[in-house]
Amino acid sequence: MPELPDAVVYRRRLADAALDRPIADATVVDPLILGDGLEPHRLGEVLRGRTLTDTHRHGKHVFVRYGEETGWLALHFGMTGRVQVVPDGTMPEYAYVQVHFEDGGALAFECPRKFARVRLVDTPDAFVEAKDLGPDARRADVDAFLAPFASRRGAIKGRLLDQSVVAGLGNIYADEALYQEGIHPRTTVPELSETDLRGLYDAIQRVLDAAIAVDADPEALDPDRFMLPHRYGDEHCPKTGVPLDTETVSGRTAYFSPTRQSPPK
């Protein structure tokens, strides 16, 4: 579930509470969480005696700089990942990667389902380039957002989930943006006009801003304006009252309002 708004919350959390605290050690409880061949012992070697000095975010990735030279942690949260800064002695259950500060506190990187990954990267930009991530969904201007759609033809839902098209949207916020704009998730890109796509861009901005404003808790969104609180509740369209419909699109469950989002011909 962690998508762009969650990454915003986690980055802020680290910027507020994890920087400038000397690191005593790093603990890797489950090496599966380490990505790109990172060896468990290497994390401690790299971090020991240093401090975290800066943070960055691109799409669903959070980056944390260690030391003064090139060298960042890249955090990706998969489906159940999250990061907390905890006082001594309160390590949560699924904290598979831990960074312990000399003052006794720690950074806990949790992920019960083990889809999350911790990597070491040179710089955020180099990582974004290597992973072929598209522009960040919240920082991209409308022209940068529109550009990749010129060469796409599949279902819009699948394109919004493709991180090389635009980085940061996942299943639930893609559904919400399509709902806001009245676009059926199975509509193909060629079936959408430039006006449709510009409207979708605006909807994405509104949805992400609203989600960030409630600390990425989808159930805390205004239930009169957004579909998400109803996805986990009564499953009715807040604007028309009809039951929400579901359909598998691009391999994932899409929720939509059948009266507001007409299927493509």
Partner DNA sequence: ACTGGCGCCTGTTTGC
Partner DNA sequence: TGCAAACAGGCGCCAG
**Which residues are near DNA by CB under 7 A?**
1-3, 32, 60, 76, 78-80, 112-115, 131, 151-155, 158-159, 161-163, 170-172, 189, 248, 250-253
Q: Which is nearer to DNA, 82 or 159 (CB)?
A: 159
φ, ψ of residue 256 in degrees (nearest 5): -155, 165
Separation CA 218–CA 222 (nearest Å): 9
Q: Which is nearer to DNA, 180 or 187 (CB)?
A: 187
CB of 170 to DNA, least distance (A): 3
Q: Which is nearer to DNA, 11 or 159 (CB)?
A: 159
Q: Which is nearer to DNA, 7 or 23 (CB)?
A: 7
CB of 102 to DNA, least distance (A): 31
Q: Looking at this protein, which amino acid is placed at residue 185?
A: P
CB of 114 to DNA, least distance (A): 5
Q: How many residues does the chain have?
A: 265
Give the CA distances from residue 234 to residues 182, 184, 237, 242, 252, in Å, rounded to whole numbers and listed in that order.
20, 20, 9, 10, 21
- Of the candidates 158, 155, 175, the one whose C-alpha atom is nearest the C-alpha of residue 166 is 158
Task: Tell me if residue 82 falls in helix, strand or coil.
Answer: strand
CB of 23 to DNA, least distance (A): 26
Residue 34 sits at the vertex; the CA angle it makes with 30 and 36, to the nearest 5 degrees, is 150
Separation CA 62–CA 42 (nearest Å): 20
For 46-74, letters b (16+ CB in 10 Å) and e give bbeeebbeebbbbbbbbbbbbbeeebbbb
CB of 205 to DNA, least distance (A): 19
- The H-or-E segment that residue 193 falls in is none
Q: Which is nearer to DNA, 23 or 216 (CB)?
A: 216
CB of 233 to DNA, least distance (A): 11
Q: Which is nearer to DNA, 24 or 146 (CB)?
A: 146
